[in-house]
Amino acid sequence: MMDSRTKALCDFLDASHSVYHAQAYLAETLKNAGYTRLYEQDEWALIPGGKYFLTRGGSALVAFRVPKESPKGFLMSASHSDRPTFKVKENFDLAAAYTRMAVERYGGMLIAPWLDRPLSVAGRVTVETEAGVETKLLDIDRDLLLIPNVAIHMNRQANEGYKWNPAVDTLPLVGGAGAAGKLPALLEQEAGGKILGHDLYLYIRQKASVWGVDEEYISAAALDDLECAWGCTQGFLKSGDSASVPVLCVFDSEEVGSVSPQGAGSSLLEDTLGRICDSLKLHRGRMLAQSFLVSADNAHAVHPNHPEYADPGNAPVMGGGLVIKYNANLSYCTDSVSAGVFRKICGRAGVRVQTYHNRADLPGGSTLGRISLAHVSVPTVDIGLAQLAMHSCYETAAVSDAVDLENAMAAYYGTTLEATQTGFVIR
């Protein structure tokens, strides 16, 4: 039987068919919890005890609380809500004997799992208004598209490895020749106006599933990194008061380098912290000197069929607790101090911790922490939840680890950190 926290996670995953829908869901969650929406173009008049959030570009979000006492630094987390998928091209209606949709890859995706599945389209559109333009969320909630495989009879080497040509192999089928022009018309009908531009993506129609003999696993689209985004948000909302300023960041564009105005490589976090300090008349440098960042992005679990891909001594398993990620060349930002602080907090919360290193001959990627440090230089720990099939359209993780993340982040956000010459006092 699915417990309430797992159901809440599944509801979030099933509603988040694009990065824009994920952020809208999180924004509504914060609003329902009593948080006041701020706008970057307005003046801010923050008050002690106030609860606030803002969004940028409809796809990134920052939330924070102002302590009732004099703030002693920022306790931040960073996750992301975009996922590898197919982005719809501007002129997407391809008509011949069949009608297909023109798409291009977004991020480093596994292609094969996308084939022979019912798909649809979600994202945002920009529509014309009398006064100018307006953005709207759009989600075609029906089985609309499919990318068909080539039969084994025509490709006898299909099971021996296949090099995908994204300009040929991954164009979704929309309908027959008579469907030409109908999909653009359908999108405008759903948008309720003339579409001047769009940021639309494909998504699979399969919902989140809890499975296994003991129902210990969860599979869904975009567990990387919606699982961390949700766990950090829930921990943020459930945390007690502290003298530190809790800051929740959910960025966009991580899968393509974080270089957008909504990504970790932008000024969003830096701008927000500066405006908090300005409004409350705090010294930014002194605040940052007592600050900390948890970079939360999922980690690779040891694969049941291919344990050889994992580092023998640092191979996390699903259901084994949170993962602290290390890399000697700083692809991950964890060091002994940041790991020690987070381990101490997890120990107080009764949350288990495991470690991850890449195998020395299999270099991995980097995360939000490294990029964020270029703008906000504070001690940072890279963490995640162990999962299988990262960057597939349907990924798998452990139910218990998602709960552990909520508990750990609630403990983290309820902590007060005070920097010393040799470490931190954790209150």
Instruction: DSSP letter for 114, please.
Output: G
β-pairing, 380-384 with 60-65?
unpaired
Parallel, antiparallel or unpaired: strands 51-56 and 36-37: parallel
CB 6 within 8 A of CB 399: yes
Q: Residue 79: its pLDDT value, please?
A: 97
Give the pLDDT score at 372. Answer: 86
What are the strands of the beta sheet with 245-251, ordered from one edge? 36-37, 51-56, 60-65, 245-251, 74-80, 292-296, 380-384, 322-326, 353-357
In the structure encoding, which two tokens stand for residue 103, read together?
């798409």
List the one residue out of 224, 246, 226 whose CA is nearest residue 236.
246
The structure tokens listed for 253 are: 């564009």
Q: Are strands 85-95 and 74-80 parallel, antiparallel or unpaired?
A: unpaired
Task: Say how far apart CA 398 and CA 216 lie, in whole Å.
Answer: 6
- How many CB atoms are located within 10 Å of the residue 180 CB? 16
Please tell me the CATH superfamily of domain 85-204, with its number.
Aminopeptidase i, Domain 2 (2.30.250.10)
- Residue 168's pLDDT is 92
The closest of 311, 306, 344 to 325, measured between CA atoms, is: 311
Going by C-alpha positions, the residue among 23, 22, 15, 17 that lies closest to residue 55 is 23
Please list, in sequence order, all residues whose beta carbon lies within 8 angstroms of the beta carbon of residue 21, skipping any fewer than 6 positions away: 15, 122, 137, 139
CA triplet 45, 231, 122: central angle to 5 degrees?
A: 85
Return the CATH class of domain 4-83+221-426.
alpha beta
Neighbour order of strands in the sheet with 299-300: 209-211, 217-220, 395-398, 386-388, 299-300
pLDDT at 382: 97
d(CA 399, CA 209) in angstroms, rounded, equals 11
Give CA–CA dist 201/107, Å, rounded: 12
Return the DSSP state at 252: S
* DSSP assignment string, 358-401: --TTS-----HHHHHTTTS---EEEEE-EEESTTSSSEEEEHHH
Q: Tell me how far the alpha carbon of residue 157 is from its chain's centroid.
A: 36
Residue 399 half-sphere exposure, CB side, CA atoms within 13 Å? 20
Is the bond leading into 225 cis (omega within 30 degrees of zero)?
yes
3-state per-residue secondary structure call for 254-275: HHHCCCCCCCCCCCHHHHHHHH
DSSP letter assigned to residue 317: -
Provide the sign of the torsion angle of the four alpha carbons 263, 267, 269, 271, taken in this order: negative
Residue ranges covered by each domain of the chain:
4-83+221-426, 85-204
pLDDT per residue of the chain (427 residues) written in tens, 0 to 9: 789 999 999 999 999 999 999 999 999 999 999 999 999 999 999 999 999 999 999 999 999 999 998 899 999 999 999 999 999 999 998 888 999 999 999 999 999 999 999 999 999 999 999 899 999 999 999 999 999 999 999 988 889 888 899 899 999 999 999 998 999 999 999 999 999 999 999 999 999 999 999 999 999 999 999 999 999 999 999 999 999 999 999 999 999 999 899 999 999 999 999 999 999 999 999 999 999 999 999 999 999 999 999 998 999 999 999 999 999 988 899 999 999 999 999 999 999 999 999 998 887 777 888 888 888 999 999 999 999 999 999 999 999 999 999 999 999 999 999 989 888 999 8
Q: Which residues contact 8 (CB under 8 A, 6 or more apart)?
A: 230, 234
For residues 80 and 196, what is the distance between their CA atoms, to the nearest angstrom?
A: 27
As a whole number of angstroms, the distance between CA 154 and CA 208 comes to 34
